[in-house]
Amino acid sequence: MPVGKIVKSLSGFYYVVNEDGLFQCRGRGNFRKRKITPLVGDEVVFEAENRTDGYILEINERKNELIRPPIANVDQALLVFSASEPKFSPLLLNKFLVHIEANHIEPIICISKIDLLDDQLKHEIEQYRQEYEDLGYKVIITSIELKEKIKDLLPLLENRITVFAGQSGVGKSSLLNVLKPDLQLETNEISTHLGRGKHTTRHVELIPIGSGLVADTPGFSSLDFTGIEAEELSFYFPEMRERLSDCKFRGCTHVSEPKCAVKEALLEGDIKQYRYDHYLQFLDEIKEQKRRY
């Protein structure tokens, strides 16, 4: 039986690619009964009499999966955030980072539209860049004007499945158009009334760029913490993770416990106040979700 990868899902059809080309498939009849949904990125066993009449028989084990966007086996996430229009949001970036880390996906931070900033705001963005790099994250600063800088992304995409994610209206589709000009993805201006980009990306599809595959995903501005427990949240903040064993109490939430290494590092300035404040906010959100359910 042939094996391939789902590269696109649309209207109940799954498009599977392997060395013999592209096959349009449906899911096996008993998948629904077994509550199995094939996802873009899945490695699958399939059969096909011809290019347009195939069936997915089996889905190989996934190394990870995201609910939104619905995609599996992701190697890395390029988190695209704009420096301006919409304004750079460390809160939203930190929320994305927690979700990406929780799914064992390597994040790369890309701050776009740097050309729209004055010198003072550029300095602020450079400061954020330094702080996130100090935490061990890879950070790239780009603008559509700096096309060569955008092309620095190409080597990072080689032989990997990469999800492009981030705020609406930050220029994800524009970046992809520079990386692969023949794509001509639809882009749209910012809705000034809402400060959000108009929704232009409508389905998940893996696009070949070089030897890698990239998913351009719908922009979204809110994420909930489904599946993340309060006691594991600090594990997804690298500066807290490295200090967990130094806290006096196992399972320390770093809120009011005595002899907390995280609180000590905060007082000494080794943990940034805004990162800790966001941690507390996320902790409250997780507890609030638990109360609702």
What's the chain's average pLDDT? 86
Which CATH number is 283's domain given?
Answer: 1.10.40.50
Show Cβ contacts of residue 45 under 8 Å, excluding neighbours closer than 6 positions.
Answer: 1, 2, 3, 56, 57, 58, 60
Provide mean pLDDT across the span 121-137. 95
Tokens of 177: 């158009």
Which CATH number is 43's domain given?
Answer: 2.40.50.140
Rounded CA-CA distance 93/235 in Å is 16
> Higher pLDDT residue, 171 or 82?
82
Domain tally for the chain? 3
Say if 225 falls within a structural domain.
no
pLDDT category, 72, cuts 50, 70, 90? very high
Say what the pTM is: 0.84
Rounded CA-CA distance 92/272 in Å is 16
Tokens of 105: 């996906």
- Domain of residue 24, residue span: 3-61
pLDDT at 105: 92
Provide mean pLDDT across the span 81-88. 87
Element (H, E) at 79: strand 76-82
Q: What is the DSSP letter of 274?
A: H
Provide mean pLDDT across the span 122-136. 95
pLDDT at 186: 54
Rounded CA-CA distance 185/174 in Å is 7
Say if 246 falls within a structural domain.
yes
Residue 6, pLDDT > 70, answer: yes
CA torsion angle 273 279 285 288 (round to 10): -100
Residue 131, pLDDT > 90, answer: yes
Say if 66 falls within a structural domain.
no
